[in-house]
Structure 1
Amino acid sequence: MSHRGRWLAGACTSTVAAALLLTGGALSPPPRDVSRGDGGTEVAVGAYLHYGSHGVERMQGLSSWLGGADLRAGHTYLPGDTWENIEGAPDSLRTWARWRKARADRLFVLNVPMQEHNEGGVPERRIAELIRSGAQGEHDHHFRRLAERLVDLGVPDTVIVLGWEMNGFNYTHRCKPDPENWKRYWRRIVAAMRSVEGQDFRFDFAPNRGSDAIAWTRCYPGDDVVDVVGMDSYDQPPGHSFDEQVVQPYGLQQQVDFAKAHGKQISYPEWGLFRNGDNPEYMRRMLAWIADHKPLYHSITDYCPHGVWQCGQNPRSAQVFREFLSTEQGRGGPSGFGREDDGEWERESGARSPSRPRS
């Protein structure tokens, strides 16, 4: 869901995470598969841990906590503050590219804003103007530049989560002010990025679960410019129970049905706990849903209040997550994680609390 509070949330980092990061996870067993998709294809498991290079560094710690689970989806965001950053300026992209290229079966998932000042509280009228400008090609060069950078970095097969949560209320790349031109703008971006020699991008259309500000089906830009139908789905209304989250209009079941009707894979770029605190039943049901429906990838948002490894306030949900995904089932649930003085851990480890890029 689109929530500014997610971007500002503090992280409750675990003692286990700190120890593993300090040791580099040296005692962890070799990575092993944690789930399989249709026809033997693996479902790529990942987590959003930090948008910069720290996110890459923490992947090994999370894998170790999961008993050596094979985390194949590396997920980060481009800041939506300036066009320069949307063009791929952050140096951390090099670190993510090195991680991706270390193994042929990994996925690099990159959330890409469609407008600068993406969390700037831009009014509806101005957003409609920006959408129309984009639909007319004014911003094509920014996205060609991003595509060129990704190809040059050796990650031409990046999964691009473009204009995520477009059916919401907050982001400047939201769809509601002008759905028809928004779809034209998406199509121009995809055309611009696909025009770059050597690219093999996949484009992930990922709304919020539910109708939110507008039914997300009204924003769908067409089968020829969408490769994956994703959904960001947190444990919060609309949908007080998991069953309601499945059956609500524009909910989880409609996503699956829509993707099937359009011949697309599904994904869950963002999911996790939110309004209902430590909720092991939600965690259990969401993981079972993912196992049953076999998305291309899923990525839990792993900082407080959403997460399970870097956040110590959800111990029961963390135990469910760990037992479900761990490849060492005899080890028991997580212990000793959750630390009140996050600043102390940062001083000891030299790392920063995880955060998504902010405008």
Structure 2
Amino acid sequence: MSRRGRRLVRACASTVAAGLLVAGCSHAARPREGSGGSAGSEVAVGAYLHYGSPGVERMQEFSRWLGGTELRAGHTYLPGDTWENIEGAPDSLRTWAQWRKARADRLFVLNVPMLERNEAGVPDGRVAELIRAGARGEYDLHFRRLAERLVGLGVPDTVIVLGWEMNGFNYTHRCRPDPENWKRYWRRIVGAMRSVKGQRFRFDFAPNRGGDAIAWTSCYPGDDVVDVVGMDSYDQPPGDDFDEQVHQPYGLQQQVDFAKAHRKRISYPEWGLFRNGDNPEYVRRMLAWIAEHEPLYHSITDYCPHGVWQCGENPRSAQVFREFLSPRR
């Protein structure tokens, strides 16, 4: 979301605020029509903790806080300031790749911006020009280089959260200025990355919950270039309570229904507290929703005001989260 974007600019500049996912005490995912799942698969759960290598280092602390929950998946973001960084320049990718390769059942999730200067307040007219250039293939080389780097690091099965929150107002990779060419550009990126020998990437289409700047369904680029239908969803409007967040246009229920119709897994790359302070009922309802619908993974944003571990302002929500995901449960 826009607030998330502003945070990431500060995080990348100061090497702070990135993420990881954890799994264990997860809910066994039953194979369901349209889910793309298989018997014995599990939901990866987690918390956005720190940008770069410290995110990996904090996994053991987070595991202990959860009572020994096994860490199975890791999640971080590429900075969107320069093409060099979008190509995979951050050296922390090596640390994440080493962590991923240490166990065969781990999942590495990487948010990838579609354009440089992604949080620089680029106006709509210029965004439309950049999107059209991307749709013509002018940026293909950057994404081939990223794919080659990931394959070279030994993580060819990375889940790519490409152009996240594209239905919002602020990211330069937003869809609204030119939806048709935005979809063509997504397809160019996926084609460029899939052209690299040895890759097995999965591409996650993850809008904001709700209508936002444009209906996220208007940005969907096609079943052949999307593997997962994600959604970033915080405890804030649109939707004054959890029921509204479920049933509102382009809300949680529409995401689940859309994914099922297109035979895709779902995900929740970002969720957490925001507008309503310490809200254990929201955390309980969101975790129950996740347990019912069995996404590929989900990641709570874990720093103030959103978090449950590193943010002491939300003790009741922290208790709910910890008890729900404890191995004892």
- Aligned counterparts of 2:72 and 2:242: Cα–Cα separation in 1: 27
**Contact kept in structure 2, 1:206 and 1:231, CA below 8 Å:** yes
Per mean C-alpha deviation after superposition, the further-off stretch among 254-263 and 57-66 is 57-66
4+ runs deviating over 2 angstroms: 4-10, 31-35
1:229 matched residue in structure 2: 229
Q: Does 1:281 align with 2:281?
A: yes
Q: How far has the Cα of 1:9 moved from its partner?
A: 8.4
Q: Note if 1:107 corresponds to 2:107.
A: yes
Task: Indicate how the Cα distance of structure 1 residues 144 and 5 shifts in structure 2: closer, same or farther if over 3 A, else same.
Answer: closer
Amino acid aligned to 1:34: S
Name the counterpart of 1:34. Answer: 26
The answer on 1:66 being equivalent to 2:66 is yes
Report the 3-state secondary structure (helix = DSSP H, G, I; strand = E; otherwise coil) of the residue aligned with 1:174: coil
> Retained in 1: the 8 A contact 2:159–2:201?
yes
Pairs within 5 Å for 1:199-214: 199-214=199-214
- The answer as to 2:293 corresponding to 1:293 is yes
CA deviation string 1:294-340 (max 9, x = no partner): 000111111111111111111100000000001145xxxxxxxxxxx
Confirm or deny: 8 A CA contact 1:9 1:304 kept in the other structure.
no
Q: CA deviation at 1:103?
A: 0.8
What letter matches 1:167 in structure 2?
N
* Pairing 1:147-162 to 2, within 5 Å after superposition: 147-162=147-162
Q: Judging changes above 3 Å, is the alpha-carbon distance between structure 1 residues 112 and 32 closer, same or farther for their aligned structure 2 residues?
A: closer
Query: Pairwise mapping of residues 1-359 of structure 1 onto structure 2 (< 5 A)?
Result: 1-3=1-3, 4-7=5-8, 32-38=24-30, 39-328=39-328
Residues 328, 66 of structure 1: CA spacing in aligned structure 2 closer, same or farther, 3 A cutoff? Answer: same
SS for the counterpart of 1:307 is coil
Question: Which SS does the other structure have where 2:76 is aligned?
Answer: strand
SS at match of 2:61: helix
Distance in 1, Cα, partners of 2:7 & 2:272: 11
- 8 A Cα contact 2:302 2:309, kept in partner: yes
Deviation digits for residues 275-302 of structure 1 (CA, Å, limit 9, x no counterpart): 1111000000000000000000111111
Name the % identity. Answer: 83
* Aligned-partner SS, 2:28: coil
Question: Closer, same or farther in 2 for the Cα pair 1:225/1:86, shift >3 Å?
Answer: same
2:115, 2:172 within 8 Å by CA — same for their partners in 1? yes
Instruction: Answer yes or no: is the 8 Å Cα contact 2:231–2:269 preserved in 1.
Output: yes
Q: Contact 1:47–1:74 at 8 Å: present in 2 too?
A: no
Residue 15 of structure 2: aligned partner: none
> Helix, strand or coil for the counterpart of 2:58?
helix
1:8 CA drift (Å): 7.2
Output the CA distance in 1 between the equivalents of 2:241 and 2:292. Answer: 19
Q: Is the CA contact (8 Å cut-off) linking 2:9 and 2:119 kept in structure 1?
A: no
TM-score normalized by the length of structure 1: 0.84
Q: Distance in 2 between matches of 1:62 and 1:43?
A: 17
Unaligned runs of 5+ in 1: 11-30, 330-359
Q: Tell me which amino acid in the other structure corresponds to 1:83.
A: W
Q: CA deviation at 1:44?
A: 1.2
1:238-293 CA deviation, whole Å, 9 max, x = no partner? 00100000000000000000000000000000000001111000000000000000
Give the structure-2-normalised TM-score.
0.92
User: What is aligned with 1:346?
Assistant: none
CA RMSD of aligned residues (A): 1.4
* Deviation of 1:60 (Å): 1.1
Larger radius of gyration: 1
C-alpha distance in 2, partners of 1:220/1:69?
35
Q: How far has the Cα of 1:34 moved from its partner?
A: 2.8
Q: Which moved more, 1:40-49 or 1:75-84?
A: 40-49
Residue 29 of structure 2 aligns to which amino acid in structure 1? G
**AA paired with 2:147?**
A
Alpha-carbon distance in structure 1 between the residues aligned to 2:125 and 2:306: 33
